[in-house]
């Protein structure tokens, strides 16, 4: 029976034994957890995983939230982890809802080890914020259950997914004809983060210009977090979190560096730089001048905390 160190025992140890492909069938799941797992593989410099395949089992009954749906689509369409061949996510859309949680590893196309139990594919389970129990089970039987679920599922980025699965509006999101925005009266927890350095100028090789160095992706960027905001734990220290932007985009972010003094997009910090350059009307990789922000109308950005996995980012003028 497994009840501690779930990440190591379920995700990392099988890789050490030669596992190459992971199949996950989970009642519920989050793109933040998928991002965290992919980042773990990246940090561990694991380059032997061919595919990670996720099926969410309760979507035929519960649907899926807009924020999770967009997060999974982003990960499947543009997986930023170079050492993973493919990440896919599917929703069960017919038959009975599936509440099972199965993690099956294979090698050379043959199921080699599997785990079953209470842990959904969410951060609260694998960061051990709640107690979960998993056991080893027959990998062939588990894989066959996965295949049965696969027959009843649809890819998250399928052209007809919204005709087969209910895409639910998050309680904190206002879904209007103009797009997605923050619903009225949701939260008053807000911080304003400057995009400038202490001398009131944009950094030449820091902040939004972090990648402006020899041999780096010039889009690489981060947003600095003052020590008082870090100490107040406005942002989670160990979790990935989803951000809805004022122009209707979803980003997965996390805090990095000593004392959590920076926010960036974890799978590729170039993603954050691409986003801001697009908002400023600049080309990918362009050096951002202080005047670019002044002419845009803002030198800072507001974050509103919904909960420890969901935020709203306002860069509007």
Confirm whether 24 is domain-assigned. yes
Identify the domain containing residue 80 by its residue range.
6-168
Tell how many helices (H) and how many strands (E) occur in the chain.
11, 18
14/138 same-domain check: yes
Taking a C-beta distance cutoff of 8 angstroms, is the pair 100, 145 a contact? yes
Q: Among 143, 168, 193, which residue terminates a domain?
A: 168
Q: Which of 135, 168, 201 is the last residue of a domain?
A: 168
In a domain, 150, yes or no: yes
Q: What does the pLDDT read at residue 80?
A: 56
In a domain, 216, yes or no: yes
Among 168, 200, 229, identify where a domain stops.
168
The verdict on 49 and 194 lying in the same domain is no
Contact in structure between 39 and 266 (CB atoms under 8 Å)? yes
35 and 161 co-located in one domain? yes
> 3-class SS at 105?
strand
Q: What is the CATH number of the domain that holds 21?
A: 3.30.870.10
Q: What's the whole-model pTM score?
A: 0.93
| Total domains, the chain | 2
42: number of Cβ within 10 Å: 18
Hey, CA dihedral for 131, 136, 141, 142, is it positive or negative? positive
Q: Report the alpha-carbon distance of residue 105 to residue 85 in Å, rounded.
A: 15
- Do both 157 and 31 map to the same domain? yes
Asked whether residue 230 is assigned to any structural domain, the reply reads: yes
Domain identity same for 156 and 186: no
Q: What is the pLDDT along the chain (317 residues), one digit of tens a residue?
A: 898 999 999 999 999 999 999 999 999 999 999 999 999 988 888 888 889 999 999 999 999 999 999 999 999 876 555 567 789 999 999 999 999 999 999 999 999 999 999 999 999 999 988 899 999 999 999 999 999 999 999 999 999 999 999 999 998 998 876 678 888 877 678 999 999 998 999 999 999 999 999 999 999 999 999 999 999 999 998 899 999 999 999 999 999 988 889 999 999 999 999 999 999 999 999 999 999 999 999 999 999 999 999 999 999 99
Based on the fold, state whether residues 18 and 61 are members of the same structural domain.
yes
pLDDT of residue 175: 80
């Amino acid at each position: 029976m497994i009840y501690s160190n779930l990440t190591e025992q379920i995700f990392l140890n099988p890789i050490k034994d030669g596992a190459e492909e992971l199949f996950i069938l989970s009642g519920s799941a989050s793109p933040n957890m998928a991002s965290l797992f992919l980042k773990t593989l990246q940090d561990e410099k694991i380059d032997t995983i061919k595919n990670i395949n996720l099926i969410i089992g309760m979507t035929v009954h519960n649907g899926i939230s807009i924020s999770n749906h967009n997060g999974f689509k982003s990960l499947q369409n543009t997986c930023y982890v170079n050492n993973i061949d493919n990440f896919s996510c599917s929703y069960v859309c017919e038959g009975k809802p599936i509440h099972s949680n199965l993690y099956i590893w294979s090698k050379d196309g043959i199921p080699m080890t599997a785990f079953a139990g209470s842990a959904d594919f969410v951060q609260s389970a694998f960061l051990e914020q709640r107690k979960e129990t998993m056991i080893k089970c027959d990998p062939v039987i588990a894989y066959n259950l996965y295949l049965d679920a696969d027959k009843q599922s649809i890819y998250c980025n399928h052209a007809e997914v919204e005709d087969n699965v209910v895409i639910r509006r998050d309680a904190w999101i206002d879904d209007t004809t103009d797009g997605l925005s923050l619903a009225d009266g949701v939260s008053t927890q807000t911080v304003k983060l400057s995009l400038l350095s202490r001398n009131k100028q944009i950094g030449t090789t820091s902040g939004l210009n972090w990648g402006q160095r020899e041999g780096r992706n010039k889009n690489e960027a981060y947003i600095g977090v003052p020590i008082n905001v870090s100490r107040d734990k406005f942002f989670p220290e160990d979790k990935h979190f989803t951000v809805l932007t004022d122009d209707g985009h979803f980003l997965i972010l996390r805090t990095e560096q000593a004392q959590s003094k920076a926010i960036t997009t974890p799978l590729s910090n170039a993603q954050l730089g691409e986003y801001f350059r697009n908002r400023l009307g600049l080309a990918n990789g362009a050096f951002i001048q202080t005047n670019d922000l002044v002419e845009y109308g803002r030198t800072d950005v507001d974050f509103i905390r919904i909960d420890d996995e969901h935020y709203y980012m306002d860069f509007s003028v």
